[in-house]
Amino acid sequence: MNADRVLEDLRELARLTGGPDGARRVCWTDEWTKAREFLRSRLGELPVDMTVDAAGNLWAAMEGESDGFVIVGSHVDSVPAGGWLDGALGVFTAVEALRTQAEHGTPPVGLRLVDWADEEGARFGRSLFGSSSCAGTLDPDEVRELRDRDGERLEDVLARYDVELDRAHESGAGLRGARAYLEIHIEQGPVLEASGEPAAAVLGTFGVERHLAVFTGETAHAGATPMGMRRDTFMAASQAALAIREVGFAHDGGVCTVGGATSEPGVVTAVAGRTEMLLDQRHLDPDTLAAMLAGAREACERAAADHGCEVELKHLWSIPPIPFDDRLIRLARESVEAAGGKDTAIPSGPLHDAAEMARLIPTVMIFSSSSPPVSHTKEEDTPEADLRVAIEAYGRTVSGMLERAAAGELPPRE
Ligand SMILES: [Zn+2]
């Protein structure tokens, strides 16, 4: 792998579709089309067949000596005013993997690059459109009526890009023959930076539980109601939030976030009679995640009781943890170490297209560090030295996957 060529491509993409205000490759816009044109121009230099599938995903297929193929990819779309590496690193490192293989002749099995459509969901609020269509987990009726800020419907906008919503699942036919999936991405968090590691293998994506805790008490006059006679929902929610923080600390590897709370009537002269509190919990282990949720429920109930209030936990959204393939995690860990990093693996807090693939085929990811440890902002960055380690580790993982596939360890999907 030649990391220089990856960095050159990434800088050129940033020049074409970014700038001082950050990346602007929002999916289903002209800037996204421009990013894709640049990707096509790079792929056009390689011995590949390019196609766009029924969900708008761009594929570039390179023939191998035996049947089936390993998939490498990520997404070129970004959030508005996003960073230069989120998604783009995965796509252009995948381009380099194809380039390297082409320079060495024919790979032992096929190699396919995919640029997933609309990973970010920045325009319509639904992430992972392309990969979830491909994996068969997208329900068209759930997204059909989604509208962007200008009131345009998702279904109509997709049609302009030749994507028929009700046929998007046909994208899944492209997985016939797929043997494994690999994606490199920036971590988007502080874990690797804090441990001084340039890159790591990824264990899988966190399961998520999202709830709205609704506390009901009694609205009362702030002057006329003695302290001991209140049913104050803001106090109950506050006590619960602090206890939920302890639930997070008590479950290693888990995170609990109270993202906000709104109280009614929300005026300075009244005790809050109703408070709604947002709760997000994540863990890689399903049983631990369930225990964390039980802990949060208990914390809410105790706090409500202490303040003479009632509480109800309303379910907003959840997704189970999606673990990656053990054999491939081992391979990725060894590759990171051989490339100059340490033999480590960490879970992913954010979801990725790889999670959709992991439902169907052996999958793994590699993270590079993020420093500063932020993403979805133009400040997003990674030291060049860390990117080089991650890119090298990726190249080694691709080679290892191709060898194992050729040896029959990763059979093609029917
Ligand atoms: Zn991303």
pLDDT for position 345: 97
Residues with CB under 5 A from ligand 1 (ion): 86-87
Give me ligand 1 centre to Cα 75, in Å. Answer: 7
Q: Over the stretch 10-33, which tens digit does the pLDDT of each residue have?
A: 999 999 999 889 999 999 999 999
How does 168-203 read in b/e, with b if 16+ C-beta sit within 10 Å?
bbebbebbebbbbbbbbbbbbbebbbeeebbbbbbb
Q: Is the peptide bond before 372 cis (omega within 30 degrees of 0)?
A: yes
Give me ligand 1 centre to Cα 83, in Å. Answer: 10
> 2 near 96, Cβ under 8 Å?
yes
Q: How many CA atoms lie within 13 A of 21 on its CB side?
A: 6
Number of helices and strands (H, E) in the chain? 12, 15
How does 253-263 read in b/e, with b if 16+ C-beta sit within 10 Å?
ebebebeebeb
- How many CB atoms are located within 10 Å of the residue 246 CB? 12
Measured CA to CA in angstroms, residue 38 lies from 81, 267, 293 at distances of 19, 54, 45
Measured CA to CA in angstroms, residue 381 lies from 1, 202, 321, 395 at distances of 21, 19, 27, 21
Question: Phi/psi at 178 (nearest 5 deg)?
Answer: -70, 135
> 394 near 340, Cβ under 8 Å?
no
For residues 163 and 53, what is the distance between their CA atoms, to the nearest angstrom?
Answer: 9
pLDDT for position 317: 87
> 207 near 293, Cβ under 8 Å?
no
Residue 413 DSSP symbol: P
> 212 near 258, Cβ under 8 Å?
no
pLDDT for position 158: 97
How does 20-32 read in b/e, with b if 16+ C-beta sit within 10 Å?
eebbbbbbbbebb
Give me ligand 1 centre to Cα 119, in Å. Answer: 7
Instruction: Tell me how far apart the terminal alpha carbons of the chain are, to the nearest angstrom.
Output: 31
Structure tokens of 238? 């506050």
Residue type at 328 in one-letter notation:
L
Give me ligand 1 centre to Cα 188, in Å. Answer: 9
Element (H, E) at 129: helix 129-135
- How many CB atoms are located within 10 Å of the residue 219 CB? 17
Q: Over the stretch 261-286, which tens digit does the pLDDT of each residue have?
A: 999 999 999 999 999 999 999 999 99
Give me ligand 1 centre to Cα 221, in Å. Answer: 49
Q: Which residues contact 103 (CB under 8 A, 6 or more apart)?
A: none
pLDDT for position 281: 97
> 201 near 329, Cβ under 8 Å?
yes
Question: Phi/psi at 88 (nearest 5 deg)?
Answer: -60, -35
For residues 323 and 284, what is the distance between their CA atoms, to the nearest angstrom?
Answer: 7
Of the candidates 145, 142, 312, 144, the one whose C-alpha atom is nearest the C-alpha of residue 217 is 312
pLDDT for position 19: 85
Give me ligand 1 centre to Cα 382, in Å. Answer: 14
Of the candidates 164, 107, 181, the one whose C-alpha atom is nearest the C-alpha of residue 352 is 181
Give me ligand 1 centre to Cα 67, in Å. Answer: 30
Structure tokens of 68? 């089936």
Sequential pLDDT tens for the chain (414 residues): 999 999 999 999 999 999 889 999 999 999 999 999 999 999 999 999 999 999 999 999 999 999 999 999 999 999 999 999 999 999 999 999 999 999 999 999 999 999 999 999 999 998 999 999 999 999 999 999 999 999 999 999 999 999 999 999 999 999 999 999 999 999 999 999 999 999 999 999 999 999 999 999 999 999 999 999 999 999 999 999 999 999 999 999 999 999 999 999 999 999 999 999 999 999 999 999 999 999 999 999 999 999 999 999 999 988 999 999 999 999 999 999 999 999 999 999 999 999 999 999 999 999 999 999 999 999 999 999 999 999 999 999 999 999 999 999 999 999
Distance of CA 145 to the CA centre of its chain: 23
Give me ligand 1 centre to Cα 114, in Å. Answer: 14
Give me ligand 1 centre to Cα 287, in Å. Answer: 27
pLDDT for position 305: 98
* pTM to 2 decimal places: 0.91
Quote the Cα angle for 76-35-49, to 5°.
80
> 360 near 173, Cβ under 8 Å?
no
